[in-house]
Amino acid sequence: MRLLIIGSVAYDTVKTPFGARERVLGGSASYSSLAASYFTQVSVLAVVGEDFRQEDKALLESRGVDLSALSTVPGGKTFHWKGEYGYDLNDAKTIQTDLNVLGTFDPDVPDHLKDAPYVFLANLDPTAQMKVLDQITQPRVVAADTMNYWIDQRRDGLMDLLPRIHILIINEAETRQLSGEYNLVKAARAILALGPKMLIIKRGEYGVLKVTEDSIFAAPAYPLESVFDPTGAGDTFAGGFVGYLAKTGDLSPESVKTAIVMGSIMASFNVEDFSLNRLLTLRQEDIEDRFRAFKQLTEFSGAV
């Protein structure tokens, strides 16, 4: 089933202890759509400037990502983020953020995408996320991401959005900030009371925690020897997670658990190289092999 993703298509300037890259393709919609493209049909609703390179558009389209709703602002510049990582790759230090055309983005969903059954509202101003949701006719599943800035500066808009989504996907720090609770289980319960049916907490190298009203599921991160660039890992996880749900159309607890593992697998590939490079060279066999390895990692047959 088709998945519609709204988010940012950006240029990133990134420095890690293992190298640096200048103005490479990034953005929440780019990472999540590429990850999802391995599971389902994906359309992206986003905005770029006139400086957006044709070859970068071709990279996304090479994976079958539908860019018919990607608009270009004449004379405008594409959103740009500059950041650095130390050896603690869970912590990104933002050096510079240039919103450019993203600062005035007023999303308009084309008619042919208004009936998308699966929607992922990637990290963006809650006002823009809500406007997209207002234009979708009958979504089966709506998942959303947010960040510390929106929680702090656009809290009212976020509070209006939460009752209208099914799944919220955020990290540990955002979970605590949004809820006002330090303990993650208590924090998750407080957030579920705000409207979402499910909370997915991204915990970086410590894995993922899923909480619903009546269940908790924890999955580890896939252990890696080489991590070069964690930029976009959370977006890649979300894309793989929602993309798998859209592929199967199965929202049972077991299917959601598998979707979490698939999202974790896609994120584990993403961090092995800079920008979107690793996602663009993946083969289906690579995903299947890592899925089997992940399953073996978490299985045991002990007894009490």
Predicted confidence (pLDDT) per residue in 99-139, tens digit: 999 999 999 999 999 999 999 999 999 999 999 999 999 99
Cα–Cα dist 69/43, whole Å: 7
Contact of 110 with 49, CB cutoff 8 Å: no
Question: What integer pLDDT is reported at residue 146 of this predicted model?
Answer: 95
Task: Quick: pLDDT tens for 244-273.
Answer: 999 999 999 999 999 999 999 999 999 999
Asked whether the predicted pLDDT for residue 19 surpasses 80, the reply is yes
**Could you give the count of Cα atoms lying within 13 Å of 63 in the half-sphere of its Cβ?**
29
* Residue 277 binned pLDDT confidence (cut-offs 50, 70, 90): very high
List pLDDT tens digits, range 164-178. 999 999 999 999 999
Domain at 3-298, CATH from 3.40.1190.20, 3.40.50.2300, 3.30.390.50, 3.40.50.970: 3.40.1190.20
Strands 10-16 and 3-6: unpaired
Closest to 78 in 3D by CA, of 110, 54, 113, 42: 54
**Which pLDDT score, from 0 to 100, does residue 256 have?**
97
Which residues are CB-contacts of 277 (< 8 A; sequence separation ≥ 6)?
none
Strand partners, 48: 72
Nearest Cα to Cα of residue 8 among 111, 138, 145, 116: 145
Confidence at residue 281, expressed as pLDDT on a 0 to 100 scale: 94
Q: Angle of helix 233-248 relative to helix 253-270, nearest 10 degrees?
A: 140
In this prediction, residue 226 carries a pLDDT of 81
3-class secondary structure, 110: coil
pLDDT of 301 reads 81
Share of the chain above pLDDT 90, in %: 91
pLDDT score, position 6: 98
Q: What residue spans of 97-232 are helical by DSSP H?
A: 126-135, 148-153, 155-161, 172-179, 184-192
Answer whether residue 91 shows pLDDT above 80.
Answer: no
What pLDDT, on a 0 to 100 scale, did the predictor assign at position 96?
94
Q: What is the pLDDT of residue 71?
A: 97
Using pLDDT thresholds of 50, 70 and 90, give the confidence band for residue 204: confident
> How does pLDDT run across 175-199, given as a tens digit for each residue?
999 999 999 999 999 999 999 999 9
